[in-house]
C-alpha cells in the first residue's frame, strides 16, 4: 500500500482522496483551513445560510460516479434535483428568457419567445458542440490525456484560433443570444476574446444533461464528503498549511508544512488540489497562468418580501452595466429569504440601489448583509476556485494534470485539467485516480 498525500480539502481534494482510498491507497489529506469543503463551505450568519460559490452543477453523473466509486451511492446521502429553469436572463430592452435545462424542445420554445427563429438559432448553435463533446470526452475529459500525442481530432480543436467571442459574433445577430451564450464565461471571470470556441460546449451539457442543485445547498456535498473521509479512513489534517513539495532527483520525497515535513516513502505520491502557483516547487511549471477572479459578492438576509419577489427563479441574470446575478436559494428562517448577488463589471453605487433599478427593490427588507470583495474572497479561499483564466488556445496546455512533469506529483481541482466548476473538478479527481490506479 503506497502513501498518497492530497494537498487541499476542497471538493476536488476530497474527491481525489475518497477515490484513491477506495483504490486501496493509504491517503493523507492536508487542508490549511479549520474545516473541509473549500469554496463549498457555506457562509452562515444570523440564521441565514448562503452557498459561498457553486449553487448547481452540470453533468450530475460525475458526482454520482464519485459517490458510487467511493462508497454509498449519492442517492443515499444527498438529493440531486434537476432545475426546470437553469437561469432567467433579463435584458436591457425589458425582454427576457427563462432557459430550461435538459431538453431541446423546451429550449426551442423558450428562445422563440425572443422572436421568430431565435429558438432554432439557439439549437443550431448548441448542436455544433455535440461532436466537440464526443471527441473531447473520449480523449480529454474522461480519459487521462497525453498532451504530446493527441489524436488529430483533439489537436484540431485545441490548436484552433477560433475564439468564443468570434464564434458568437459570427453565429448570432441578436445580441441577447450572444449574452446568454457568453454568460457562463463572464460569470467564471473569463474574457471571451481569450476563451477558445470549443469551451462553449458547456451550453451543450446544459441542454443535454441539465443543471442540478442539491437539496439543502452545496454545503451538504462538503459535509457528506467530509464524512466519507472518515469511512474511507483518510487521515485528515486540517489547520495544516502546505508550504512546498520537497523534490529530490526529479521526484517528490516529502511535503513540507508549517508543522514540519511529511515523508512520502519510496513509492509515495502527491496530489495537488489547489493553485500550484503557491508552491515554489511547481511555480516554474505554471508561471504563465493567471487565476480567474471571483465577482463582488453580497449575501443578503431578507425579511418577508412582496409577492412579485418571492417567485423569482433560482438564478436571475440582470444584464446591464454592471450585470448582476441574483441567486435566491439560500436557507433562511421561516418567512425570510437568503439571496446572493454577484456583480460583474463596474458597480458605482450600492448593490441594493443597482438592484432597485431593475425593479427588484429589497432595500426595506434587508435584515443582514455580508459584502465580500474579490480580494477578500481569494484571501478566504487561499486562491481562486474559478481556476486558471483563459489567455488563448494555449492555456489548455498550461494547466497541469492529471500528471505533472514530476512523475509522482499529480494535479486536480479548479486550476488543473480539465478546469473549474464542479463537473470539471470532479472529473479532474477521477482522472488522477485513473492515472494512479489501484494500490
Backbone angles phi, psi at 369, to 5 degrees: -145, 150
For the chain, give percent helix, strand, coil, nearest 5.
35, 25, 40
Confirm or reject binding of residue 54 to ligand FAD (CB under 6 A): yes
The count of other CB atoms within 10 Å of the CB of residue 382 is: 17
Given candidates 27, 38, 87, 264, which one binds ligand FAD under the rule CB under 6 A?
38
Binding segment for ligand FAD among 99-107, 350-358, 403-411, 418-426 (CB under 6 A)? 418-426
CA 289/CA 318 separation, integer angstroms: 31
Confirm or reject binding of residue 11 to ligand FAD (CB under 6 A): yes
The count of other CB atoms within 10 Å of the CB of residue 125 is: 21
Confirm or reject binding of residue 171 to ligand FAD (CB under 6 A): no
Given candidates 107, 278, 289, 343, which one binds ligand FAD under the rule CB under 6 A?
278
Confirm or reject binding of residue 425 to ligand FAD (CB under 6 A): yes
Given candidates 4, 5, 6, 7, which one binds ligand FAD under the rule CB under 6 A?
7
Please check whether residue 83 is in contact with residue 314, taking contact to mean a CB–CB distance below 8 angstroms: yes
The count of other CB atoms within 10 Å of the CB of residue 437 is: 10
In angstroms, how far is the first alpha carbon of the chain from the final one?
A: 6
Cell reading at 369: 448583509
Confirm or reject binding of residue 8 to ligand FAD (CB under 6 A): yes
Given candidates 49, 56, 190, 408, which one binds ligand FAD under the rule CB under 6 A?
56
User: Closest-CB residue for ligand FAD?
Assistant: 10
CA 76/CA 236 separation, integer angstroms: 24
Name the DSSP class of 251.
Answer: E
Given candidates 3, 4, 6, 9, which one binds ligand FAD under the rule CB under 6 A?
9
Please, which residue, 38 or 101, has the CB nearer to ligand FAD?
38
| Contact pattern for ligand FAD over residues 329 through 348, marking x by CB under 6 A | -------------x------
Please, which residue, 107 or 297, has the CB nearer to ligand FAD?
297
- The CB-of-42 to ligand FAD minimum distance in angstroms stands at 12
| Beta-carbon contacts of residue 112 (< 8 Å; ≥ 6 apart) | 118, 119
Give the residue from 21, 15, 16 showing the smallest Cα distance to 3: 21
Please, which residue, 154 or 179, has the CB nearer to ligand FAD?
179
- The CB-of-133 to ligand FAD minimum distance in angstroms stands at 17
Please, which residue, 154 or 292, has the CB nearer to ligand FAD?
292
Distances (CA, A) of 331 to 103, 301, 338, 366: 28, 9, 6, 15
- The CB-of-53 to ligand FAD minimum distance in angstroms stands at 4
Collapsing DSSP states into helix, strand and coil, what is residue 39? helix
| Contact pattern for ligand FAD over residues 221 through 260, marking x by CB under 6 A | --------------------xx------------------
Given candidates 27, 420, 433, 436, which one binds ligand FAD under the rule CB under 6 A?
420
Binding segment for ligand FAD among 30-38, 97-105, 130-138, 331-339 (CB under 6 A)? 30-38
Name the DSSP class of 390.
Answer: P
Please, which residue, 136 or 422, has the CB nearer to ligand FAD?
422
Given candidates 31, 206, 223, 314, which one binds ligand FAD under the rule CB under 6 A?
31
Please check whether residue 337 is in contact with residue 330, taking contact to mean a CB–CB distance below 8 angstroms: yes
Confirm or reject binding of residue 141 to ligand FAD (CB under 6 A): no
CA 401/CA 204 separation, integer angstroms: 24
Confirm or reject binding of residue 426 to ligand FAD (CB under 6 A): no
Cis peptide before 346 (omega within 30 of 0): no
| Beta-carbon contacts of residue 83 (< 8 Å; ≥ 6 apart) | 56, 101, 210, 211, 212, 213, 314
Confirm or reject binding of residue 20 to ligand FAD (CB under 6 A): no
Confirm or reject binding of residue 177 to ligand FAD (CB under 6 A): no
CA 418/CA 402 separation, integer angstroms: 9
Give the residue from 14, 19, 58, 62 showing the smallest Cα distance to 40: 14
Confirm or reject binding of residue 28 to ligand FAD (CB under 6 A): no
Residue numbers at the binding site for ligand FAD (CB under 6 A): 7-13, 30-33, 38-40, 53-57, 241-242, 273-274, 278, 294-295, 342, 381-383, 385-386, 413-414, 420-422, 425
Amino acid at each position: 500500500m503506497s502513501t498518497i498525500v492530497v494537498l487541499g480539502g476542497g471538493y476536488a481534494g476530497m474527491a481525489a482522496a475518497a477515490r484513491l482510498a477506495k483504490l486501496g491507497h493509504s491517503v493523507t489529506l492536508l487542508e490549511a483551513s479549520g474545516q473541509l469543503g473549500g469554496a463549498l463551505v457555506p457562509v452562515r450568519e444570523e440564521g441565514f445560510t448562503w452557498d459561498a460559490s457553486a449553487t448547481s452543477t452540470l453533468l450530475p453523473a460525475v458526482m454520482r460516479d464519485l459517490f458510487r466509486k467511493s462508497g454509498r451511492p449519492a442517492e443515499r446521502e444527498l438529493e440531486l434535483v434537476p432545475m426546470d429553469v437553469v437561469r432567467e436572463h433579463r435584458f436591457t430592452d425589458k425582454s427576457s428568457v427563462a432557459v430550461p435545462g435538459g431538453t431541446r424542445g423546451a429550449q426551442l420554445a423558450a428562445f422563440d419567445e425572443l422572436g421568430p427563429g431565435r429558438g432554432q438559432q439557439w439549437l443550431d448553435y448548441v448542436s455544433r458542440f455535440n461532436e466537440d463533446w464526443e471527441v473531447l470526452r473520449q480523449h480529454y475529459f474522461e480519459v487521462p490525456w497525453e498532451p504530446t500525442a493527441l489524436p488529430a481530432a483533439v489537436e484540431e480543436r485545441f490548436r484552433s484560433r477560433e475564439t468564443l467571442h468570434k464564434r458568437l459574433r459570427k453565429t448570432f445577430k441578436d445580441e441577447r443570444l450572444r449574452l446568454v451564450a457568453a454568460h457562463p464565461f463572464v460569470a467564471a471571470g473569463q474574457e471571451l476574446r481569450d476563451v477558445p470556441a470549443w469551451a462553449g460546449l458547456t451550453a451543450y451539457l446544459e441542454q443535454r444533461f441539465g443543471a442540478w442543485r442539491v437539496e439543502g445547498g452545496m454545503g451538504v456535498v462538503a459535509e457528506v464528503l467530509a464524512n466519507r473521509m472518515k469511512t474511507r479512513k483518510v487521515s485528515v489534517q486540517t489547520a495544516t498549511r502546505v508550504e512546498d513539495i520537497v523534490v529530490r532527483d526529479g521526484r517528490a520525497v516529502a511535503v513540507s508544512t508549517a508543522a514540519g515535513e511529511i515523508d512520502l516513502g519510496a513509492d509515495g505520491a502527491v496530489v495537488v488540489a489547489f493553485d500550484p502557483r503557491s508552491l515554489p516547487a511547481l511555480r516554474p511549471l505554471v508561471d504563465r497562468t493567471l487565476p480567474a477572479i471571483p465577482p463582488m459578492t453580497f449575501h443578503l438576509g431578507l425579511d418577508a418580501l412582496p409577492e412579485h419577489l418571492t417567485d423569482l427563479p433560482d438564478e436571475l441574470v440582470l444584464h446591464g452595466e454592471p450585470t448582476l446575478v441574483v441567486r435566491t436559494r439560500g436557507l433562511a428562517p421561516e418567512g425570510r429569504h437568503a439571496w446572493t448577488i454577484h456583480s460583474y463589471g463596474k458597480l458605482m453605487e450600492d448593490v441594493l440601489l443597482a438592484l432597485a433599478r431593475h425593479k427588484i427593490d429589497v432595500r426595506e427588507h434587508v435584515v443582514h448583509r455580508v459584502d465580500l470583495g474579490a480580494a477578500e474572497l481569494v484571501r478566504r479561499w487561499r486562491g481562486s476556485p474559478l481556476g486558471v483564466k483563459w489567455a488563448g488556445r494555449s492555456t489548455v496546455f498550461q494547466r497541469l494534470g492529471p500528471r505533472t512533469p514530476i512523475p509522482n506529483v499529480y494535479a486536480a481541482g479548479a486550476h488543473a485539467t480539465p478546469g473549474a466548476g464542479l463537473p470539471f473538478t470532479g472529473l479532474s479527481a477521477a482522472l488522477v485516480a485513473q492515472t494512479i490506479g489501484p494500490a
